[in-house]
Amino acid sequence: MVLPTFHHLSEEKQARVRDALLNEFSQYPLAEAQVARIVKDAGIARGAFYKYFADLPDAYNYVFGVAMYEIHRTMPEMPTVDNVDAYMNSIRQFVVETDKAGYRKLIEQHYRYNEGFLGSEPTKLVDGADAPARWAITVLYHQTVRDIVLDPDSMDQRIEQLRTVLQKR
């Protein structure tokens, strides 16, 4: 969790630190990331880094959370029989937004290296009569996105594969 001191920085300084974090974590897996490169790139003192973040995983989780928020803010709600096309388009939009916002390498590093380094959490249980279907769709959707980020040339085939499953609901 970002420490309160970070939120007291000017927007310009916060942006500089975010950019330095994005640069570092886009180029290096978390296990190889260095505070020294981040502080040099951000133009801050090493001690300041630890006033903003508890450690490197904390800083990584912060910038990854920012990226996920930016990318997901325009995504549609859960797919239904009526919005499968919108949902499939949202996968393409996710990839485009990831590239446009400069997060592609960060997301790729996450899937390739950092996800395993940080540990895994179980998927969330969902309530309601259609809970199993909503859970399955969410898992398949995220796996499809993951596979596309790791193998961009397979996007069309993976989207069609997911579309076929969702239309059989």
pLDDT at 156: 95
| CA 73 remoteness from chain centre | 12
Residue 81 has pLDDT above 80, yes or no: no
Quickly state the pLDDT bin for 57 (edges 50, 70, 90): very high
Given a cut of 90, whether residue 110 has pLDDT beyond it is yes
| pLDDT over 90 at 146, yes or no | yes
Q: Does domain 4-62 have CATH number 1.10.10.60?
A: yes
Q: Tell me the domain boundaries of the chain.
A: 4-62, 74-167
pLDDT tops 80 at residue 43 = yes
- Residue 38: pLDDT band with limits 50, 70, 90: very high
> Which stretches within the chain are classed as H helix?
4-7, 11-27, 35-42, 46-52, 56-72, 84-100, 104-109, 115-118, 131-150, 155-167
Q: Is the pLDDT of residue 169 over 80?
A: no
